[in-house]
Every structure is written in structure tokens, then in C-alpha cells.
Chains A and B, each alone.
Chain A
Amino acid sequence: MSATAMGAAPGPSGLPRLLAGLDPRGATMTHADHVRVHGELPRSSPRQLIEAVEMSGLRGRGGADFPTAVKLRSMAGGGRRATLIVNGSETEPASAKDRLLLTRLPHLVLDGAVLAASAVGAGTVIVKLGEHSREAVRAIEGAIPVRPAEPVDLHLAVGPDGYVTGEETAVVQYLNRGVAKPTFVPPLPFQRGYRGHPTLVQNPETLAQLALIARYGARWFRELGSEADPGSALVTISGAVSAPGVYELAFGTSMTDLLAAAGGASEPLQALLVGGYFGTWVQASRAFALRLSREELRSVGCALGSGVLIALGERACGLHESATVIEYLASQSAGQCGPCAYGLPAIAESVRALADGVAHERERERVLRWCAQVRGRGACHHPDGAVRFVESALSVFGAELEWHRRQRCTAPPVGLPLAPGGAAGPLPAAARR
């Protein structure tokens, strides 16, 4: 099957899409196998590709959920010195989807990178990975040399780990000056980025989706999902489920089916953390009624973010787990901005005191006041994500605060991952569906 014009090839129906042809034993797909599954790289004009991406409704999968076509258009006219960065940092500890794509299906991601770079006229692609992603580094190192002559230069860069190193201005500053910390914006990367030139930063899954849209067209992309939430998404499910891993699911899938894809709950659940450590807790009873759609998730204050879902069993203590997460997020502040560097540790200390039942009478109010103070006052959105998480924890587990004051909580910690690449240790063995 080979495609010469946009959307000329009939696309696979149903799922899997991104994960089509994935080797269940964990091998990296070769370029030849990749071409056998998806066909050659389609040749289409920049205008055609950007229009197809626009019609598809594709949004960024790195967490910000921003329309990809708008980003592509903002870059158009950047010239050959413009750069596309594949942001494969995946610093969210409970996320494994980008590593899965980069390690097992590197050519799908590189296809998307080459196509997007060509569409905006950029001459360079840099795949930026974190040190924790050793298998992904090896796969990309192996994949770059075997690609046929490309219209762009492909490079690999490996940077330090740490939650905020994946933020796009931190990625750009790392590549420019070796400092993996966010910068004050503007200028945003698309205005002045790598080496001072316009730079497009995209998540690997976004690019993999783009590679499929370029081949099979926007209409095919919209065959799954809904008008408002088209297509499929990779979701990393962990916690109290029987088969934690990365699953490709259509938007609109019910939360119950989502959990079923991961083998179902391994014990009765009390809550789900939707969207990772920048995400929000939702009571299990409410979560089961939800579908994977932006509108439904927003109705309970959630967003899918980078597609991370953690199931919390009934025996666990949501307050103590939340204290662990906010302590981690506070420790990950780049230490550059007062509200983040001082505010997050103060909030973390209070949340821990609340969980331990040793807090002052009005500690909860103080934490909420600090959250409101800190929001929106960092150079990057790290404090915003952190306080959103804390507010949802105090709301969902708020009823337990009083109980924690009266009685010592003995629930054992569930061992949430506290370092990038921490989800289930190595890559999940199988990505089903």
C-alpha cells in the first residue's frame, strides 16, 4: 500500500491506529515493517497538510491540548532556519505513552516530525529525550540513519530529567544554553526559539497522529470519536488495575471501558486521578459515569492532559498520596520564581500536616488561600498545575480531614511513581486494543 496524495490511501478502520503493527514482544518496528504497515511517506504540499490537520481537529497531546493547526500556521514562513523539536521528555512520572511510541514505533513519530517540519519550511528536526528514556534513545539512534534521504536534518538530543525540563521553553533553553529551566515569555518558541529562530515544539503522539492524518486524511481521522473530540488517544493507565499499561482508545470511550481495557479494577476504587500530577482527582462513582471527552471531563474540573489515569483503591489514603505528589511537585520547582519556589513547598508541608492529622485548625483554608495566591504567578505553568492538583485533593478527600484529626491513618502508601519513567518500571509489556 503506498500513498502518493493526501488521504489517497484507505486508512485502517477502528483501532488500533497509532499502535497498528506493534510487536507484542517489545521489538522496535523496522523501517521496512513500518512502510509495510503504513506505506511510504506521502508527498503533499504544505498547504494541503496544514489544511488536513486543521480539518482533522487534532490537538496537542503533550498536556496543553492546543490546536495543532494553529501552531503550524503560526510557524509558516519561518524559513529553513526554523526548527521542529519533538518533545519526547515525558517527564510526567505516571506516563509511558511517548516512550512506547519512540521506542517501538520510532518511524511513525519521525514521519510526523519530517512532515510537520516540511509543512512549516523548517530545515531541522531535533528529537529531545530525557536521560531516563534509555530504550527510546537507542531506538531513535537506530532509526535516524536508516531513513531514506530526508528533506530535513534529523538530530537527537538527550537532556536531564526533572518534571519541568519537559516544558517547552525549558526544552529550548536546554538546547540553546544547556540550562533545562523555563524562560519568561514572550518570546514564545515560535517567535524566538532554538538558536533564536522560530521553533515548533510538539509532543511525539501529536506528530504520530499527524503522520496518519497526512496518509489517510482528515475524514478518516474523524471516523473515531465525536465532532468535538475526534480521533483516538493514547492513555497510560496505572494504579489499582489488573493490567497497567498504555492503551489506544477512541475519544468518547466510557471510563468503564477504559478501565476494562486495562484488565479492570484490581480492587474496589475510591477515586481516579485524571491527567497526571497536573490533573484532578475524581470520585470513582462520578468518574464511572464519564466519557473520554473534553466537555464531560471539564464538567468535573478535569482534562485528559497527557493521557494519564491513575486508579486509587479503596484501602489507600487519598490525602497521604496527594501529600506525596505535591511534595514531589514542590521539589521539582526550577527555583526561579518566588511564588513557585516558596509557595509550593509551603503548600506541600501543610498538605502533609493535614494528612498526618497534625495541622492547625484553619490549615485547609490557609492552603486554599496559598493556592489562589500562587496560581498564574510563575514563569511557566508548573505552579498552576500543582495547585489545581491540591485543590482537587482537598475537595475530593476533604471529608476525610476531620477523621484524620481524630485518628491515626494507617493506610499503606500505594507507591506512586516519583521520577520520570516511573510508571510500572520498564515499558508496559503489552499495549492492547
Chain B
Amino acid sequence: MSDRLRVNPITCEAHGLCAELLPELIRLDDWGYPIIDQAEVPPELLELARKAVDACPTLALALERAPAAERPGAPGPPRLPRIP
């Protein structure tokens, strides 16, 4: 079980602090919202990741312990292969 970074997109207000503090794992999209390229946080970045989580002004960024595995009843369309 590893620590994973997750953004709550509803509460995130694109302050961008997280990407400044943790550019190794977080970059911003064209509208200033964070993209987490790799959710699993390697041990050497854990301290920085915690700092980024603490710095987020809206508490939108979180470190989760449990793997975000498939849960029954997950809403929405099924994951499909990309269009060739």
C-alpha cells in the first residue's frame, strides 16, 4: 500500500501552490489546475508532498493511504480503449 496524491476538483481553486512546491509530481494545465502525473508518491518525496498538502488553501489536495481501487458502483461510463 502506498501513499497517493489526489485532488478534489470541486474544491480546488487553481491557486497552483501545490505545483510550485512539488513540481516533481504536479504540473498545471492550461487553465491553472493541477495535473498529477503520477499519483503514487515515492518515499523520498513524501515530506514535500505533505508540505504541499498542508499548503493547499482549500484543502483540495490530499494524501490517501488506500489504493484508489475499482469500487463497486463507480459512476459513469466504463473505461474504454483510446480511439486508434
- A residues bordering B, Cβ < 8 Å? 63-66, 70-71, 73-74, 167-169, 182-186, 188-190, 200-201, 275, 278, 280, 298, 301-303, 305, 336-340, 342-343, 346, 370, 373-374, 377-382, 384-385, 388, 391-392, 395
Contacts and interface: CB of A to CB of B under 8 A. Distances in A.
Nearest to A306: B77
Contacts of B74: 64, 66, 185, 188
Contact of B14 (A184, A338, A370, A385): A338
Contact of A395 (B9, B76, B84): B84
Nearest to B33: A338
15 contacts: A63-B76, A64-B75, A66-B73, A71-B73, A74-B72, A201-B73, A298-B80, A336-B10, A337-B10, A338-B12, A339-B33, A346-B30, A379-B8, A380-B76, A395-B83
Contacts of B80: 280, 298, 301-303, 388
Given A373-B30, A384-B77, A190 B35 contact: no
A339 B72 contact: no
A64 B77 contact: yes
B75 A188 contact: yes
B81 interface: yes
Interface in B28-84: 29-33, 35, 71-78, 80-84
Interface residues of B, number: 26
A64 B76 contact: yes
Given A381-B77, A388-B77, A336 B72 contact: no
Contacts of B32: 338
Given A280-B83, A339-B33, A382-B76, 7 more contacts: A65-B78, A70-B73, A188-B73, A379-B10, A381-B77, A391-B83, A395-B83
A184 B75 CA distance: 11
Contact of B82 (A185, A302, A303, A391): A391
Nearest to A392: B83
B42 to A, nearest CB: 21
Given A339-B29, A377-B33, A385 B9 contact: no
Contact of A373 (B35, B71, B73): B35
Contact of B77 (A71, A278, A338): A278
A392 B84 CA distance: 9
4 closest residue pairs by CB, A with B: A381-B76, A337-B9, A338-B33, A342-B31
B75 A185 contact: yes
Interface of B: 7-12, 14, 29-33, 35, 71-78, 80-84
B60 to A, nearest CB: 9
B75 A380 contact: yes
Contact of A184 (B8, B29, B35): B8
Nearest to A187: B71
B80 to A, nearest CB: 6
A168 B77 CA distance: 12
Contacts of A301: 80-84
A391 B82 CA distance: 8
A66 B71 contact: no
Nearest to B71: A188
A173 to B, nearest CB: 11
B73 A190 contact: yes
Instruction: Name, among B12, B14, B35, B72, the residue most crowded by chain A CB atoms within 10 Å (CB to CB).
Output: B72
A432 B1 CA distance: 53
B77 to A, nearest CB: 5
A206 to B, nearest CB: 12
A370 B30 contact: yes
A263 B19 CA distance: 56
Contacts of B78: 64-66, 303
A80 B42 CA distance: 44
A103 B64 CA distance: 45
Given A167-B76, A183-B10, A377-B33, A298 B81 contact: yes
Contacts of B82: 301, 391
A322 to B, nearest CB: 13
Contacts of A338: 9, 12, 14, 29, 31-33
Contacts of A339: 9, 29, 31, 33
Nearest to A67: B72
Contacts of A184: 8-11
Contacts of A298: 80-81
A422 B9 CA distance: 31
A383 to B, nearest CB: 9
